[in-house]
Structure 1
């Protein structure tokens, strides 16, 4: 198709001053459209065309007709636009002949001169230069006539050039930019490429690959035919620079048969068919052809359906058009994420109206919004909305709409849904009669008042409500759909000039919601509406407020059961309906007019909130609404502060907690909540949050908190904790108010506050320089207050040293902290001992949080052993010695006095001053060695036994006989768990006999206390015990396997199922007899099935469970060694197992478990195909459907849990199916294996379809 002729080129070159810089762009586009094999390409255009050097350089390998214009191999290019092309050519020739430039080998390079002027004698000039002795490989002249012919071969490139330079384009063909600009201009503001690409990242990349490399017809389906072409244009225009220019130069939109036939002989093109041209894509199918199809096409199955984006994806894209974020979100909801519907919503002129706009058959679908036809209750509800005699009649009337190019309905599986409810409302609302409104009111009341039967279940069973058939009869689709319809009526009805029985749509919706049975009296109705409450609140806030306020009257106990996130419920699958209520109130609170009422209800809910496992709490919702730096509400800061004042007055405790939650923090977080779908809620008048407003709001919050703190020391502790996050001016305000309040406090309150203030000051001084710490000049007034209220008793001032392991001590480096802490503790205890004696020390230990630290210091500073013993024996206020103090003192005294201290304890015990229980406490932290063991044994067998029963095994550094003796003592004391817990890493040092004893004893202990296994991760630590046993030569494989078998139900989950050292697995692959025995423990013989089971003992049931665990985890291949398998050994094992199983009347199930075991074999190392060739050979020999079935079941089960992005759909399953089908092509020599692999592939393909449907349902729900 000829877009440009030689005369136009000549005129253009003579009249346009930019012709010299534009010509390189045309030549570059022609080259890109003509050749794909390009090694080097440099053609500066625009301003860059004026730089020195060659006008163009190219290394390429053209084909066919393009050889006329593009030389083979290396070429250099010059051009001129002057009316005397010969003069410019001669000048360039002379200059370049003498100085070709660096790296140019003239003998291997072609000289090309290009001019848009017609040069009749160009061939004569070329012949003359060659005759004179040209240094160049060849000479080419491309004048206006040649350019015209070249442009005709490259219509996409010439179309682009014609458009950019003002030449009139021909009919029925557009380049990609022309089409895009026409399409985008139908929107106001103009559409951006981002909107077409939203949510279609993977499809965009796939289309780029198709356009760049593929041939043939490629069908795409969108909401309209032009949307598909717009998507193609957006993909090309958004590609990388090199891809974009390459594809723009080649791609044409073809709109007629004539254009298609004219372009048929043009190579290297890409076609997007439009209008009449769609029917003639086949004429061009030797190249890449994009064909858009409609919903009525017979080629649906072969088409790629363009994904509709999620709401947030489309709204973000709409923002690139210059649309405000809140409006973009509403547009995305309103158009149902459809670009075609968006074209009607924001049309630049009168938009084309849908063909279905006058159909009353759509009214029941609009009123229902969505439904699941697998639900009989849904079908009955939709039928009630329609007036049709049967649901089949209704469905038949709706199915015709699915084939329309701009279908108003869509289906995914059993779900029907209105595609864009707002769009449908605009176009069918005028057809809705009073009868329809009555039907909606009655149906909505019935659907929305249904009580969720899962609310009747105990907390621990609610996650299994579906299994117990405790579910709503109406689907979530219908409940959400009707709620959406009510919201559209309420929010957009007036705008659409809709009247219902002479009144406003808002009045209709308000009355409908108010009339929902049980809404005001039964919390279960609110709880059952949890998922719909945010939309219902946006639609009709006043009736919901009235209902909630009624339920909260008095003590609010009527509504309290809505909090159901208890510790008893399943943490993974549980839910609590209060979350939907909180989101609804957050939606309401975004509207300044509704904020006071929503906040008051949230405060009442906070008062009855019992707490739970979810972070969604009423107080957190209040915080989100009023958060100073990111308030959820659209109210101004003055109005927010006024509402907070009201809350504080009406709900003092909740108000105080809210103020604390609003105080600034060094690291703070906010939450994203549900936004109104359609209502403005004050967003258009939202106050711009400036630093000045933020600081003013924070100051007001701080001032109110200070006022409410009054003289309450507990409240001031909370205020002081926020001090480091405040602005300096606010800190001064707090400190001044604090100083005044302290002076008014009772002495007892001052003493309590002193401890907290002392910790505060000490922490800030210890971490001086940290971002959150107060500077010294601001700490100074607090230190003055601290000094004024400090207790006269110096001992109280030192108690902080005995509070935690590492107290805050200003001026001490971290590496010296432990040493300095111990020094200070000793100094304090020594002073107290000197001033007040042992009794005073004991009293001091009772006053501190951790008496053991006092005891440890006392054992080191007591004047002598007698003094320390007096402290150990002394009684505190409870009339008994503090065991923590005494034990710590005895530990450090032993370090200090050695065996003399032990002798003194013995003497005191002998005089009856110590009980045996105290004795055990006093040696709790002595070294865990033979001296301690023998010393305590000297007090008798009971003392020795009690020692080994209570002393943990940590700290045993003994080896050899001492180590064995310690193990013996623990086992004798029936404490094998101590050994496993502390010594599992030394299992290799434990003798075989003690390892077996350890297993015996722990088995008994576990029977008494099953929780022992999970305490201290003993299931993991037990693995080390068995690994040690597996490596021993002084016991048989059968014995070790026997112990593994006994422990199997407890530990198999924490072990690797393919552990090559497992004695049990090694024994199984050596003994098909054992395998069949295990099968017999679990499954009855075929002849015994159906017999009564009452005579089965608990021991037999336990054995069956153990055996089943073994069978399900058996993965070692008989004859296997890594990736290799001995086929003879495998065959012998399988045949013997089959023979024995047949004799035991258990052949079928045994073969299934043989198959499950075989599925774990690695691929064959030679051909890399699974299963291994030895197994393939076996399948052909054994000819067992049950073995093959077992392999398939095992392979499916071995996949386990998958992780995928929410919108991935069945990608993983399709990849698995594709790999299996590829492998099936490689195993033609094993027909049974081939059929098995194809069957597995089909299973994954069906799974992929289910996952795709799940994603489509998720998209549909948007």
Structure 2
């Protein structure tokens, strides 16, 4: 039965260090009682071994007693792997406050040795994984540890080869996911040239992918010293001996990603060349512009334009023809997005697209219509990028017909207009276009007639609106067009007289006097305010400041532009209403205890 201590709120209990120590010891004792034979629980406990009270001794005794009771080979492998990681972690930082003392680590290492597999291949297979953590690291930094890993790998590979020959090496390859490290270790261990040749042929001609990985590591390592003549001889031997296309692909994919290798691939040609480029990596490539352009065209030809984007975006290192940059973007937009849920892939795709478009922005040999088409295709990608769809948005402000086309894709004709829209042949495609058009209209803030220095040509603005309204009326979308135009006009800069909006915008608002246009203008301006922050008791002071600003502007322009002034007064009234609402909320907070 549990024992309970008396507790009362009337007498505060004095918490002492002795009481805390007893509590920690009791918790540690419970943890050791519950850990049992579970590798998962022991893994968590070993991470906090130094936190157990009063010390790790009881845990070490429990672990030593547990080892003979773990009989499942997978469970023993999990214990072995975890202990190795713990030993590596603490021995890497022996002076750290949290690091376990050497005697404790020595006892852990003794248990680690007892968990080691009895099979000689399984005992060394972990050395040829991507990440290797030695149980006895040098503690002299990651570079020294990497050298230690290379040395241990060479010793293990040499021992396996000496004991069991090629058969043992290939068997070991099947136990590791990155057998290329095994091939490298065998070469670095000093095998003779004849031994390497026999081993390489056996591995490269294998039907097992992991065994071919050994060949991959061997080829990379041998090429480093013997260069192109050796590789050409190997390719010639493979072709003369009618080695399989898989073996040839293994050879060529292990060679440097450069023009010499590609020329060897091209000399074979046909489906073999297509297969090579379908799987060729795109990184670690030279900065030679001609080579990069060649690789991009090859990737496009096999349907890998998306994979070519990182190459095309290297504008600071290579100079590529503008037509090639346009082509790779055009082709990439047509290909389905292949993602395994990795958000970083989508982020990098956006980055490369924006980077290439920025390169094209600096060129003067680009057809503007080509940029408009690219921005339309990538509108969703550019929506929140550092490079918005500025050419397309500018075209919207220059071509009233494009504006009405986008408007008609999103909104139906009004009933009172009498215009009857034709049913789309492809409803799904129509929905996609409507979504895209809405995505374009939302950020539209370039006022027609805007000059490069920021001022607005009032004549151009008036003519644009007149044509847009005439087209909208013919399309049965006059009111929604006016509303959108008003929303766009709310992006106006300050006027030359220090009042808002700019004079050309005031002129068109007072000229057309459209209720939907004025309402859109007011809604757009309110939405452009963005978020606000305030202390809980501040009330509506920020809104009163906004209202006062609009009142002042309205008063300044009321005689020359009464309809614009009225719209500004309406905005001020809305802010004054918001101010009262915030005041009431702040007052209610004062009532609460």
Q: TM-score, normalising length from structure 2?
A: 0.83
SS in 2 for 1:847: coil
TM-superposed deviation, 1:774 = 0.9
Q: Does 1:983 align with 2:312?
A: yes
Q: Which residue of 2 is the match for residue 1069 of structure 1?
A: 397
SS in 1 for 2:268: coil
CA distance in structure 2 between the partners assigned to 1:1012 and 1:1001 by the alignment:
22
Judge conservation of contact 1:1006–1:1012 (CA < 8 Å) in 2.
no
Alignment CA distance shift 1:1076-1:817 (3 Å): same
CA distance in structure 2 between the partners assigned to 1:1152 and 1:978 by the alignment:
42
Judge conservation of contact 1:1117–1:1161 (CA < 8 Å) in 2.
yes
Q: How does 1:381-396 map to 2 (within 5 A)?
A: none
TM-superposed deviation, 1:1126 = 3.1
2:295 corresponds to which of 944, 966, 974? 966
Q: Does 1:762 align with 2:88?
A: yes
Return 5+ residue gaps in structure 2 as ranges: none
CA distance in structure 1 between the partners assigned to 2:473 and 2:78 by the alignment:
82
Alignment CA distance shift 1:786-1:1153 (3 Å): closer
Q: Which residue of 1 is the match for residue 358 of structure 2?
A: 1027
Judge conservation of contact 1:1058–1:1116 (CA < 8 Å) in 2.
no
Alignment CA distance shift 1:1213-1:1027 (3 Å): same
Alignment CA distance shift 1:750-1:973 (3 Å): closer
Return 5+ residue gaps in structure 1 as ranges: 1-595, 597-636, 641-680
2:490 corresponds to which of 1150, 1159, 1164? 1159
Judge conservation of contact 1:953–1:983 (CA < 8 Å) in 2.
no
TM-superposed deviation, 1:866 = 0.6
CA distance in structure 1 between the partners assigned to 2:26 and 2:247 by the alignment:
59
Write out per-residue CA displacement over residues 876-911 of structure 1, whole angstroms, 9 at most, x where no aligned residue. 9xx664344443333323323323135324523553
SS in 2 for 1:1195: helix
CA distance in structure 1 between the partners assigned to 2:179 and 2:13 by the alignment:
57
SS in 1 for 2:174: helix
CA distance in structure 1 between the partners assigned to 2:486 and 2:502 by the alignment:
13
CA distance in structure 2 between the partners assigned to 1:1134 and 1:739 by the alignment:
85
SS in 2 for 1:730: coil
TM-superposed deviation, 1:869 = 0.8
Q: Which residue of 2 is the match for residue 928 of structure 1?
A: 257
Q: Which residue of 2 is the match for residue 948 of structure 1?
A: 277
Q: Which residue of 2 is the match for residue 1119 of structure 1?
A: 449
Q: Does 1:811 align with 2:160?
A: no
Alignment CA distance shift 1:935-1:1200 (3 Å): farther
Q: Which residue of 2 is the match for residue 1134 of structure 1?
A: 465
SS in 1 for 2:383: helix
**Number of residue pairs matched by the alignment:** 580
2:572 corresponds to which of 1241, 1250, 1262? 1241
Instruction: Using CA pairs under 8 Å that are at least 6 residues apart, name the structure with larger relative contact order, 1 or 2.
Output: 2
Alignment CA distance shift 1:1047-1:803 (3 Å): closer
Q: Which residue of 2 is the match for residue 1183 of structure 1?
A: 513
1:1150 corresponds to which of 481, 488, 513? 481
Q: Which residue of 2 is the match for residue 835 of structure 1?
A: 163
TM-superposed deviation, 1:771 = 2.0
Higher strand share: 1
Judge conservation of contact 1:806–1:817 (CA < 8 Å) in 2.
no
Q: Which residue of 1 is the match for residue 32 of structure 2?
A: 706
Q: Which residue of 2 is the match for residue 823 of structure 1?
A: 151
Write out per-residue CA displacement over residues 999-1031 of structure 1, whole angstroms, 9 at most, x where no aligned residue. 332232149999999844223321223333344
Judge conservation of contact 1:702–1:730 (CA < 8 Å) in 2.
no
TM-superposed deviation, 1:684 = 4.5
SS in 1 for 2:100: coil
TM-superposed deviation, 1:977 = 0.5
CA distance in structure 2 between the partners assigned to 1:1221 and 1:1123 by the alignment:
25
Q: Which residue of 1 is the match for residue 334 of structure 2?
A: 1004
TM-superposed deviation, 1:724 = 2.0
CA distance in structure 2 between the partners assigned to 1:971 and 1:711 by the alignment:
55
CA distance in structure 1 between the partners assigned to 2:386 and 2:448 by the alignment:
18
CA distance in structure 1 between the partners assigned to 2:302 and 2:335 by the alignment:
11
Q: Which residue of 1 is the match for residue 48 of structure 2?
A: 722
2:192 corresponds to which of 863, 882, 886? 863
TM-superposed deviation, 1:939 = 2.9
TM-superposed deviation, 1:784 = 4.2
Judge conservation of contact 1:891–1:922 (CA < 8 Å) in 2.
no
Judge conservation of contact 2:350–2:382 (CA < 8 Å) in 1.
no
Judge conservation of contact 1:801–1:825 (CA < 8 Å) in 2.
yes
Alignment CA distance shift 1:1116-1:744 (3 Å): closer
Judge conservation of contact 1:1013–1:1019 (CA < 8 Å) in 2.
no
Higher helix share: 2
Judge conservation of contact 2:488–2:521 (CA < 8 Å) in 1.
yes
CA distance in structure 1 between the partners assigned to 2:534 and 2:240 by the alignment:
71
Q: Which residue of 1 is the match for residue 103 of structure 2?
A: 777
Alignment CA distance shift 1:1132-1:759 (3 Å): closer
Q: How does 1:418-567 map to 2 (within 5 A)?
A: none
SS in 1 for 2:313: helix
Write out per-residue CA displacement over residues 1074-1098 of structure 1, whole angstroms, 9 at most, x where no aligned residue. 3344434444555556847645643
SS in 2 for 1:773: coil
Alignment CA distance shift 1:683-1:1136 (3 Å): same
CA distance in structure 2 between the partners assigned to 1:1010 and 1:784 by the alignment:
42
Write out per-residue CA displacement over residues 793-835 of structure 1, whole angstroms, 9 at most, x where no aligned residue. 6765555533443534233323433344333323332333233
CA distance in structure 2 between the partners assigned to 1:859 and 1:932 by the alignment:
22
Q: Which residue of 2 is the match for residue 854 of structure 1?
A: 182
Judge conservation of contact 1:852–1:888 (CA < 8 Å) in 2.
yes
TM-superposed deviation, 1:973 = 0.7
SS in 2 for 1:938: helix
CA distance in structure 2 between the partners assigned to 1:1073 and 1:1090 by the alignment:
17
CA distance in structure 2 between the partners assigned to 1:1245 and 1:925 by the alignment:
71
Judge conservation of contact 1:1057–1:1115 (CA < 8 Å) in 2.
no
Q: Which residue of 1 is the match for residue 554 of structure 2?
A: 1224
Q: TM-score, normalising length from structure 1?
A: 0.42
Q: Which residue of 1 is the match for residue 63 of structure 2?
A: 738
CA distance in structure 2 between the partners assigned to 1:745 and 1:806 by the alignment:
24
Judge conservation of contact 1:1065–1:1116 (CA < 8 Å) in 2.
yes
1:1171 corresponds to which of 482, 494, 501? 501
Write out per-residue CA displacement over residues 467-513 of structure 1, whole angstroms, 9 at most, x where no aligned residue. xxxxxxxxxxxxxxxxxxxxxxxxxxxxxxxxxxxxxxxxxxxxxxx
Write out per-residue CA displacement over residues 664-697 of structure 1, whole angstroms, 9 at most, x where no aligned residue. xxxxxxxxxxxxxxxxx95555644322122111
Q: Which residue of 2 is the match for residue 691 of structure 1?
A: 17
CA distance in structure 2 between the partners assigned to 1:1081 and 1:763 by the alignment:
61
Alignment CA distance shift 1:730-1:820 (3 Å): closer
Judge conservation of contact 1:1155–1:1187 (CA < 8 Å) in 2.
yes
Judge conservation of contact 2:409–2:437 (CA < 8 Å) in 1.
yes
Judge conservation of contact 2:447–2:461 (CA < 8 Å) in 1.
yes
Q: Kindly name which structure, 1 or 2, has the bigger radius of gyration based on alpha carbons.
A: 1
Alignment CA distance shift 1:1218-1:823 (3 Å): farther
Alignment CA distance shift 1:812-1:828 (3 Å): farther
Judge conservation of contact 1:859–1:891 (CA < 8 Å) in 2.
no
